[in-house]
């Protein structure tokens, strides 16, 4: 799962979760940001692409390393 969280003053206000597939807001401002970002397809598409580029690439490396050590 790919998660990208946004914080202000140590309080999480917005999060993108790949399992949900969109941004979720936790504060009043975070809900507004999430709504705005979810309505623009480019931001959500960029986050999904980051998951593809980072998570799927790294999982293969980790999986291979675990198999060679066991």
Pairing of strands 3-8, 22-25: unpaired
Task: Say what the pLDDT of residue 37 is.
Answer: 93
Determine how many CB atoms are found less than 10 A away from the CB of residue 43.
16
The 10s digit of each residue's pLDDT in 1-60 is 889 999 999 999 999 998 898 999 999 999 999 999 999 888 888 888 887 777 777 777
Which CATH number is correct for 3-68, 3.40.50.300, 3.10.320.10, 3.20.20.140, 3.40.1080.10? 3.10.320.10
Q: Is the pLDDT of residue 61 over 60?
A: yes
Distance CA 45, CA 21 (A): 9
CB 49 within 8 A of CB 41: no
Q: Is the pLDDT of residue 70 over 60?
A: no
CB 52 within 8 A of CB 18: no
């Amino acid at each position: 799962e790919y998660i990208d969280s946004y914080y202000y003053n140590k309080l999480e206000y917005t999060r993108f979760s790949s399992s949900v597939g969109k941004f979720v807001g936790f504060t009043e401002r975070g809900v507004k940001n999430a709504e705005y970002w979810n309505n623009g397809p480019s931001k959500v598409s960029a986050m999904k692409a980051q998951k593809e580029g980072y998570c799927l690439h790294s999982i293969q490396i980790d999986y291979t390393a675990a198999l060679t050590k066991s």
